[in-house]
Structure 1
Amino acid sequence: MPAITVRDVVFDLMRSLDMSAVFANPGSTELPMFRDFPADFRYVLGLQEAVVVGMADGYAQASGKAAMVNLHSAAGVGNAMGNIFTAFRNRTPLIITAGQQARSILPLDPFLAASQATELAKPYVKWSIEPARAADVPRALARAYHIAMQEPRGPVFVSIPVDDWEQPAELLAATEVTTRSRPEAGAIASLAAALASSRRPAMVVGAELDRAGAWDEAIRLAESCHARVFVAPMSSRCSFPEDHRLFAGFLPAMREKIVQLLAGHDLVFVAGAPAFTYHVEGSGPHLPPGATLYQLIDDPMTASWTPQGSAIVGNIRLGLQDLLAQMAQHPPATRLQPARREPRTRAAPETPMSAAFAMQTLADVRAAEDIVVEEAPGSRPTMQAYLPFTRPGSFYTMASGGLGYGMPAAVGVALARPHQRVIGLIGDGSAMYSPQAIYSAVQLGLPITFVIINNGRYAALQDFAPAFGFGADDVVQGTELPGLDFVALAQSMGCQGVRVSDPAELAGALQAALSANAPRLVEVLVR
């Protein structure tokens, strides 16, 4: 009877953990992993390592499960580092494996060896290891899985020498590890009492709330307190229906503006987000005068730098459930009824087309359950104004600010949600970071519509330049992007596309693409 190998045990482990898809780009030091690849597994090919990690990130977020990634040694991991950083900021559970040269020749500094393999992905993984023996590889991967899934979730890294896969190993018994912790009851009781006595509370919701599945609890809490609900700065998920009467809009990543928008509230409850994420240096208080801050977050590191108030650490959904139960025991204070936001005036169909009209038209033609994966930072404020999201799990973007995530993440989301339409809403600058994702979408036959907002520039940088002293007439070097043709690019990889500059044609082009049940690209020229 043939001996059980490391490869046999690893695939048996992956099967037991419901990780039968491997997101990968092939390299020489990884080839033995895939010899006799099991028929019940799926190899998801990305044509560049950043694409591989982006696809796995989207899949893990949309499925709620950990995803397996396989990269080439040092060079491949280096190519992937931008999206590994994004996965770390996204709190995405990824088990990232990378090939390593054979143990016997590592002392000779061989070609394609990673001389400090465990250090390369740090500090943007939760744990990193190269097992001391081949027989330790399965146990290391089992441990990596549990660390990745423990809140706050995130990527982990395992370097595996090429000759380990054929070595003998013992089968692993399945183990279960609790990945959610309940917030301390006394702290929740104090928050409940403070909310009950507040006359004008505000909630600030972030991505961890949607990730924890606490959408319904957040609505119940806001309605019971009559609290205005803001979205945290740079939030990467939709955590509250943006058409709700209590929805108050989006907080910018600027201290003074946050304080201005929260003015008049006597209590600010931040659920599932930092308090607060800033993008530029600011000054002054973090809260308006007279306001008290409470925070519920699953990450003790985030809680540790909250500048004032009380931070409660634990699972967001469990915490909100306990908070609602406690609130039922407190008579509510007399509350000031928050005013409903004024509706946005509809954008006109002007030529050249505005980004506002493009977002408004997309909002008109998409169904509420369609999923949008966005990476158009220059158009994000416009999207927030004209393209509302009203369902849990309907919006994803990168929490890192790094480009090259959106297009491959849309592929991963579509793999995880095969019965929903996925829209990749991508800026023209962003689309050039990982367009290889179009190829993967075509080969997998996924119903993705890539909507490219083409304004011929890095608009986010031009818009942000005044914060660094640029005048209205100053040139921001390197931000003009003339001559890009995304329809031709898509067609070169087998994806049909159309370019739209006439506002009257946009709705029809989007409807046709969304109805195709196959990858399509719509390039929208905007001013």
Structure 2
Amino acid sequence: MPTVRDATFAVLRRLGLTTIFSNPGSTEVPLLAGLPEEFRFILALHEGSVVSLAAGHALGTGQPALVLLHSTPGLGNGVAAIATARLNRVPLVVVVGQQDRRHLAQDPFLAGKLHGLAGEYPVFEEQPARAADVPGAIVRAHHAAVTARGPALVIVPMDDWSAEGPEPHEILGPRRLLRSAAADPEAVRALADFLGERPAIIAGAGADSPAGWAALSALAERLAAPVFQEPFGPAAGFPQDHPWFAGHAPARRERLRQVLAPFDTVLVVGTGALRQYPYDSGPLCEAALAVVTDDPEEAQRSPAALAVLGDPAAVCAALAHAVPQRTGEPPRFERPPAPPPGEPLFPGHVLAALADRLPRDAVLVEETPSSRPELHARIPATAPGGFVSAMGMLGFALPAAIGLRLAQPERPVVAVVGDGSSLYQIQALWSAVTYEAGVLFVVLRNGGYAIMDRLAERAGASGPWPALDGIDLAALAHAQGCDAWRITTHEELLAALDKTLPTLRERRTPLLLEVAVAQNEGFDL
């Protein structure tokens, strides 16, 4: 008789979930032993890397990725990355192994209290009532992950895999689910009526697609309206080399009010209004706000005069046709000049050199908190899917870049991370080497927790943490079989980038550049 395992593999094939990201344990062996040959297994050495690799792969393919975690330690270790995947709008199907159902009541070794362990970050969580319900639960998790753009969990006791499989009619959930992206005419009219004489647009990660970029470009040109990128966005919602691009919106209310002061209405597209970091009192801005998003939570929490829950690309494309052509001068947004050559190196030297050399279709994965504002100012996102930022868990970017490269082997991938960020998931380099993911990792080594130092300065005192200048990142890379070069001069930096970036598209071996930089002075969020 077909087993639950057989039925599950059939469901996974139908859903396109044939790559499994995991760091398995005993509760996953009944599923994995004798894995069918059409399934690809990707091992990482920590569950934070497992989930982040899968998230990068999902971002690269545009489809959910499959994660397999081991009971309490696996799910517990992966929670921070699951939270980051939720914030980054990444669809994941996360199967969590549980001890044998037949003696769960006796709390056997490795039994997990798994319900709620990941908090409210999963968009779906289910332990099927019976073994035969496992394949259907995975179907439902897949649809939930796509619909709500986040991680969906299914908890499976290990003996379920060998149980008798369900009848076809028992695999509950639609075999096919269509999501209509049509723009409701009433919503489009309401948005058209909302727009004032001096509108501005703020683009968010939910507009990061070819259709989203095209719709927002058409709308900005139609309205003669400047477009800002949302603060702390996990992706770019607008081409940042477009004439109407006006830069990144600030992550503090006081500065945001100053930037938006010239406008009477602000249309926020593909995100909520509006994620901030340090608290400042007062409203976000004096202008009236409207929000267009396909995320119910973003719509519901936004202090907006009008919120439209729908596909941002479809709504904005229809809105561009519904409003009359306006005239105006594009904003004068200028990127800062490169710092003069010389030592010591600063992050600006590295970022300016990358900006001059990155291919237009490259994917830049960012996790360098103290240099993020300067990275935004210097390196534009010039293709959909070309920018990914970690939204929570330190260490997300390094393995996520590997997953992206595995998903899009024809596209150059560069990860720019701080030294502190890299240390959280440095063991992911082993997976990059093993699975031939030719990512260029640029680690900005300033020898300290620069973002924490700056925040402590704002608080008026220094922090108790020591410097990190004794850690040899290149040696950690070499220990995992990953090539690594230490860069200390401007000449070495340019030579390394000139040698590496032209070959990045074909490269199958990862490379880490450990670049010694001085901390920026006067950093502000």
Fold similarity call, TM over 0.5: yes
Aligned partner (choices 46, 49, 63) of residue 48 of structure 1: 46
TM-score normalized by the length of structure 2: 0.94
SS at match of 1:165: helix
Please name the residue that 1:177 is paired with.
Answer: 177
1:395 counterpart = 2:390: no
> Which stretch shows the higher mean deviation, 309-318 or 478-487?
478-487
Correspondence 1:162-241 to 2 at 5 A: 162-170=158-166, 172=168, 175-180=175-180, 182-195=182-195, 198-210=196-208, 213-241=211-239
Please name the residue that 1:128 is paired with.
Answer: 125
Please name the residue that 1:476 is paired with.
Answer: 463
Please name the residue that 1:526 is paired with.
Answer: 517
**Offset at 1:501?**
0.7
Q: What's the CA shift string for 1:243-269, capped at 9, x where partnerless?
A: 222111111221111111011112111
- Equivalent pair of 1:139/1:172 in contact (CA under 8 Å): no
Q: What's the CA shift string for 1:412-454, capped at 9, x where partnerless?
A: 1001101011111111000000011110000011111111111
Correspondence 1:60-459 to 2 at 5 A: 60-114=58-112, 116-150=113-147, 152-170=148-166, 172=168, 175-180=175-180, 182-195=182-195, 198-210=196-208, 213-288=211-286, 291-327=287-323, 331-332=324-325, 335-399=327-391, 401-459=392-450
Mapped partners of 1:141, 1:479: distance in 2: 46
Q: What's the CA shift string for 1:454-491, capped at 9, x where partnerless?
A: 11111112222344x22xxx322226212111111111
- Equivalent pair of 1:500/1:523 in contact (CA under 8 Å): yes
- Equivalent pair of 2:241/2:380 in contact (CA under 8 Å): yes
> Which stretch shows the higher mean deviation, 249-258 or 16-25?
249-258
CA RMSD of aligned residues (A): 1.6
SS at match of 1:363: helix
**Offset at 1:183?**
4.8
Mapped partners of 2:427, 2:388: distance in 1: 19
- Equivalent pair of 1:130/1:160 in contact (CA under 8 Å): yes
The residue type paired with residue 178 of structure 2 is: T
> Which stretch shows the higher mean deviation, 243-252 or 444-453?
243-252
Please name the residue that 1:504 is paired with.
Answer: 491
Mapped partners of 1:250, 1:465: distance in 2: 24
**Offset at 1:286?**
2.2
State the identity as a percent.
38
Please name the residue that 2:20 is paired with.
Answer: 22
The residue type paired with residue 131 of structure 1 is: P
**Offset at 1:181?**
5.1
Mapped partners of 1:453, 1:167: distance in 2: 51
- Equivalent pair of 1:29/1:162 in contact (CA under 8 Å): yes
**Offset at 1:211?**
5.1
Mapped partners of 1:181, 1:78: distance in 2: 36
Q: What's the CA shift string for 1:95-121, capped at 9, x where partnerless?
A: 10111000111111111001x322212
Mapped partners of 1:375, 1:390: distance in 2: 19
Correspondence 1:27-42 to 2 at 5 A: 27-42=25-40
Mapped partners of 2:42, 2:307: distance in 1: 40
Distance 1:322 1:172, change over 3 A: farther
SS at match of 2:216: helix
The residue type paired with residue 372 of structure 2 is: R
Mapped partners of 1:177, 1:292: distance in 2: 36
SS at match of 2:20: strand
The residue type paired with residue 138 of structure 1 is: P
Mapped partners of 1:213, 1:112: distance in 2: 47
**Offset at 1:184?**
3.5
Gaps of 5+ in 1: none
Distance 1:219 1:140, change over 3 A: same
Mapped partners of 1:340, 1:244: distance in 2: 11
Q: What's the CA shift string for 1:265-286, capped at 9, x where partnerless?
A: 1211100111111212222232
Mapped partners of 1:81, 1:285: distance in 2: 33
- Equivalent pair of 2:335/2:377 in contact (CA under 8 Å): no
> Which stretch shows the higher mean deviation, 128-137 or 457-466?
457-466
Gaps of 5+ in 2: 519-525
SS at match of 2:162: coil
SS at match of 1:321: helix
The residue type paired with residue 175 of structure 1 is: R
Distance 1:423 1:339, change over 3 A: closer
Aligned partner (choices 463, 476, 479) of residue 492 of structure 1: 479
SS at match of 1:483: coil
The residue type paired with residue 261 of structure 1 is: V
Mapped partners of 1:221, 1:323: distance in 2: 7
> Which stretch shows the higher mean deviation, 238-247 or 53-62?
238-247
Mapped partners of 1:284, 1:119: distance in 2: 35
